[in-house]
Amino acid sequence: QSALTQPRSVSGSPGQTVTISCTGTSSDVGGHNHVSWYQHHPGKGPKLMIFDVTKRPSGVPDRFSGSKSGNTASLTISGLQADDEADYYCCSFADSHAYVFGTGTKVSVL
């Protein structure tokens, strides 16, 4: 199972909107509606931000939203804030009851 493809980095000014893509195959992203997104600050455990493509856990601001089209899922952060600066990883359920993570995207707030 190859890692899902994400852009290495994205950046934006406070208040702007950024979108991170996550491209897989029909065996993972395209074939299952179980894509999740995680925010990861170095030295800490990752934090769940989106699950099942579009759903937000309790406590996650509605500035974070998810979507999917074909083999590509996306995470959109609107109203960018300084504490959004982190690494973001997508993860998809895949065939054979396995999971595959994305390559990771560093979000920088200018």
Residues that bind other proteins (CB under 8 A): 1, 3, 34, 36, 38, 40, 43-48, 51-52, 55, 57, 89, 91, 93, 96-104
Q: 21 to each of 11, 25, 45, how far by Cα in Å?
A: 13, 13, 22
108 closest CA partner among 90, 85, 88: 85
Taking the complex as a whole, the smallest distance from the CB of residue 13 to other proteins amounts, in Å, to 26
* Closer residue to other proteins (CB): 19 or 93: 93
Smallest gap from residue 14 Cβ to other proteins (A): 26
- Cα–Cα distance between 62 and 32 in angstroms, integer? 23
Q: How far is the CB of 76 from other proteins (least distance, A)?
A: 18
Hey, is 18 helix, strand or coil?
strand
- Comparing CB distances to other proteins, the nearer of 2 and 69 is 2
Residue with tokens 């190859």: 2
Q: Which is nearer to other proteins, 48 or 76 (CB)?
A: 48
Residue 66 Cβ vs other proteins, minimum distance, rounded to whole Å: 11
- 1's CB contacts (< 8 A; 6+ apart) are 27, 28, 94, 98, 100
